[in-house]
Structure 1
Amino acid sequence: MDLSVMFFGADDAGAHAAKYDDILTITRAADRLGFTAVWTPERHFQQVGQVFPNPALLSAALATVTERIHLRAGSLVLPLHHPLRVAEDWAVVDNLSHGRVGVSVATGWHSKDFVLAPDAYDDRRERAFRDLAVLRRLWAGQAVEFTDGAGERVAVTSQPRPYSAVLPLWTTTSGNPRTWEAAGRMRTNILGATIGQTREELAGKIGAYRDAYAAAPEQPGTPPRGTVTLMAHTYVGRSDEEARQRAGGPLKAYLRSYVAQTATDKGAGDQAAALSEAQLGTLTEFAFRRYLAWGSLLGSPETCRKSLADLAELGCDEVACFVDFGLGGDEVLAGLERLAELREEM
C-alpha cells in the first residue's frame, strides 16, 4: 500500500507565512522518507483550508524543493475554472517536477466558493464530469473548440505542453455512491475518506467502483485497475495513550471548525446552523470517539499497522495521511518518521 501526505488544515488568521514554511519542511521530509505523494486542496474563504486557494501554485513551489515525491491536487474544484487554464497551470508544474503531478477533480460543495463562478453552482456536478473529459483531451495535445472574445468558435491547443503524456486523474467523493460509480465509468482513480462512513458502507462503495471501472470503455493511458485513495487523520505516537492525548484536542477543534463551515453552506439547509454549543460539543466528541474506533491512523505503531492492514483488506491502494489538523510542526515530523519506519516493516 502507498502512503502519502495530505494537507487540509484549519488555521488561525495571521499565521500564514509560518504555515507555508511548515508545509515546505514537512514535504521535504516526506520526500526524503519515501512517501508516495503530497496532496494539497483548493479551498476558499473559510477557516478550514484557508491557506490553500490554488493547489497548482503551491505545487509549483513544492516542485522546486523536492526530488521524487508526486505533487497532487486533492482536490481541484473544476467547475470554478476554465479547463484550458487548468491544463496550462498543471503543465507548468508537470515540467517543473519532471512528470510528478496528479489531479483529483471535485465538483465543489460550499455555496460561498462559487462567488468565483456563480453560474456554475447549480449544475456543478455535470460541469465537473464534462470538463474532466475536456481536460484529458487538452493534456493529450488535442485541439478543442472554445468561444473567443469575438464570439467565434476557435480550436485551441493548450501550451506549454506537459512533461508527461498522461495526466493521472482522480475523482473526489465525500461519500455519495453515485460519485464512486461515476469515477469508475470515467476510468479515473478515486479519492475518498474514511471519516463519516462505516467500514461496511465503504466496502460496498469500493466494490461498486471496481465493477464500474472494469465495465467501462478503455481511456487512453489509464491502467486496467483504478487506484482507491482514502484520506485518514494521522498521527503515529509512541503509544496509543500518547497519540490520543496529543491528537485529541487538535482533532476535536478541527472537527468543530468543519461543522461550523458546513453550517454556512446555503446548499446544506439549516440543520447544522441550528446546533447549540452544547450540541456541537456532543457531536464533536461522538465523531472523535467513533473515529478512534475505526478509520484513523491515530495510535501506536502497532495500532496503526493493524489499521493499515484493515484498509488494504478493504481494497484501499493508497492512504493520504492527513497530518495538519492542529498538531505542531515538530509533532507532525516525528509522527511521519514513525510512520515511515512502520511502512518499511510491513
Structure 2
Amino acid sequence: MELSVMFFGADDASAAGHAAKYDDIMAITRAADRLGFTAVWTPERHFQQVGQVFPNPALLSAALATATERIHVRAGSLVLPLHHPLRVAEDWAVVDNLSRGRVGVSVATGWHSKDFVLAPGAFEGRREQAFRDLGLLRRLWAGEAVEFTDGAGERVAVTSQPRPYSPALPLWTTTSGSPQTWEAAGGLRTNILGATIGQTREELAGKIERYREAYTAAPEQPGAPPRGTVTLMAHTYTGTSDEQARELAGGPLKAYLRSYVAQTAANKGADGRAAALSEAQLGTLTDFAFQRYLNWGSLIGSPETCRKNLADLADLGCDEVACFVDFGLGVDEVLAGLERLADLREGM
C-alpha cells in the first residue's frame, strides 16, 4: 500500500492566513518527503471557502518540486475543461523538468458552476471535453504535433515545448463516485482518484471491480501501465489513541463537512436539496456523516486502528491512500500524525 499526502482544506480568508497556509504546506510536504510518502497532491479550486489557496496545482507543484528530493508532485485534481490542453502540457512539462520526472496529473471534469466563469462555454459539455482533451494531452506529452486553430483562423500543427523530462505523463481520472466515471477511467486506461467518504465498502468494492474489468478490456494507450492504480482519498489523523484522535479531529472535521455542504448548496448545477437545509438539519447531517465516516473509510484513530483500516482498503483493491490532512488540524498535529503513520507503515 502506497501512502501519499493530499491538501484540499478550507482556509482563512485573510491574506496573512493564506501566506501562513503556504508555509504549512511547504513544511508538511518536506516532512512527507523525509518520511517516505509517495506523493503530495494539490487541487484546483476557485472562488470558494473550501480550498482558497489552490487555484493552480502546477504553480504550487513547481514550488514543492524545488523544495523536495524524492516525493512525487501531483495535481489532485486539474479541471481540464477550464484549460487549453497545450497549456496544461507546457505547464506540467516545466514541473516535470524541475522535479526530474516526479509529476502526475489527475483530470477532473469539473462540477461547480462558479468555476466555469473561467470558461463558461465549457460547462455543459465538460465531461465529453475532459475525456477528449485527455487524449490530446497524452499526444502532446509524447511530442506529437497536433493541429489547432491559430489567431488568423488557420489550422496549424504545433508541438508543445518545453519537452518533458519523462516520456509519459502519469494520468489519473478523478471521480466523485459515479460508477460510469470509474468505468470510463478504465476504458481510457488512466489510473483513478476517488474517495472513501460518501459510500459504503460494498459500493466501493463494486466500483473498483468495474474499473478493473474495463481497464483490462481496453486497448493499450501511450504511456499507460498494464494495470491501473486505484488511489483513494481519506481524511487522516493518526493519534496516540482512538479517543485522542477523535477528540482532536472531531471539531475540525465537522466544520469542514459543514463548509463542503455550503459549497454544494451554492452550485447552480446541484439539485437544490442542500440549499434548503436549516441550520439544525445541517448540524444533524454533519453529525451523521462524521459518525458514519469514523466507522468506515477514514484514517482517524490510533496507529492500530489506522493499520487495520489500511489493511481493509488494501483488501478492497486500493493501491494508494491519499491522506487528506488539512481539514482544520494545526500544523504541529498534522506533522505528529504523519510521523506516527510513517512508523506504522514500516511495520506492515
What does residue 294 of structure 1 align with? Answer: 296
**Separation in 2 of the partners of 1:297 and 1:148?**
49
Match of 1:335 among 325, 337, 340: 337
What does residue 27 of structure 1 align with? Answer: 29
What does residue 177 of structure 1 align with? Answer: 179
**Cα offset for 1:309?**
0.2
Do structure 1's residue 186 and structure 2's residue 188 form an aligned pair?
A: yes
Match of 2:224 among 210, 222, 225: 222
SS in 2 for 1:38: strand
Once the two structures are superposed, what CA deviation does each residue of 1:231-282 show, in whole Å capped at 9, x if it has no partner? 0000000000000000000000000000000000000021110000000000
Once the two structures are superposed, what CA deviation does each residue of 1:96-155 show, in whole Å capped at 9, x if it has no partner? 000000000000000000000000000000000000000000000000000000000000
**Separation in 2 of the partners of 1:56 and 1:87?**
10
- Correspondence 1:121-160 to 2 at 5 A: 121-160=123-162
What does residue 117 of structure 1 align with? Answer: 119
**Cα offset for 1:220?**
2.0
Once the two structures are superposed, what CA deviation does each residue of 1:29-86 show, in whole Å capped at 9, x if it has no partner? 0000000000000000001011000000000000110000000000000000000000
What does residue 328 of structure 2 align with? Answer: 326
What does residue 276 of structure 2 align with? Answer: 274
**Separation in 2 of the partners of 1:13 and 1:221?**
40
SS in 2 for 1:232: strand
Once the two structures are superposed, what CA deviation does each residue of 1:271-296 show, in whole Å capped at 9, x if it has no partner? 11000000000000000000000000
What does residue 93 of structure 1 align with? Answer: 95
What does residue 4 of structure 2 align with? Answer: 4
**Separation in 1 of the partners of 2:237 and 2:180?**
31
**Separation in 1 of the partners of 2:253 and 2:274?**
19
**Separation in 2 of the partners of 1:50 and 1:287?**
23
What does residue 202 of structure 1 align with? Answer: 204
Once the two structures are superposed, what CA deviation does each residue of 1:156-199 show, in whole Å capped at 9, x if it has no partner? 00000000000000000000000000000000000000000000
Runs of at least 4 residues of structure 1 off by over 2 A? Answer: none
**Which amino acid letter does the alignment assign opposite residue 19 of structure 2?**
A
What does residue 65 of structure 1 align with? Answer: 67
What does residue 13 of structure 2 align with? Answer: 13
**Separation in 2 of the partners of 1:300 and 1:182?**
37
Match of 1:165 among 151, 167, 176: 167
SS in 2 for 1:271: coil
SS in 2 for 1:268: coil
Structure 1: unaligned runs, 5 residues or longer: none
**Cα offset for 1:221?**
1.9
SS in 2 for 1:229: strand
What does residue 55 of structure 1 align with? Answer: 57
SS in 2 for 1:332: helix
What does residue 214 of structure 2 align with? Answer: 212
SS in 2 for 1:267: coil
**Cα offset for 1:302?**
0.3
**Separation in 2 of the partners of 1:61 and 1:222?**
27
**Separation in 1 of the partners of 2:225 and 2:140?**
19
**Separation in 2 of the partners of 1:322 and 1:161?**
32
SS in 1 for 2:269: helix
**Cα offset for 1:224?**
1.1
TM-score by length of 1: 1.00
Structure 2: unaligned runs, 5 residues or longer: none
**Cα offset for 1:223?**
1.3
**Separation in 2 of the partners of 1:270 and 1:36?**
39
Asked if the contact 2:138–2:222 (Cα under 8 Å) also holds between the matched residues in 1, the reply is no
SS in 2 for 1:248: helix
TM-score by length of 2: 0.99
**Separation in 1 of the partners of 2:45 and 2:224?**
28
SS in 2 for 1:19: helix
Asked if the contact 2:93–2:163 (Cα under 8 Å) also holds between the matched residues in 1, the reply is yes
- What is the count of residue pairs matched by the alignment? 346
**Separation in 1 of the partners of 2:86 and 2:221?**
20
**Which amino acid letter does the alignment assign opposite residue 236 of structure 1?**
T
**Separation in 2 of the partners of 1:28 and 1:336?**
11
**Separation in 2 of the partners of 1:258 and 1:223?**
34
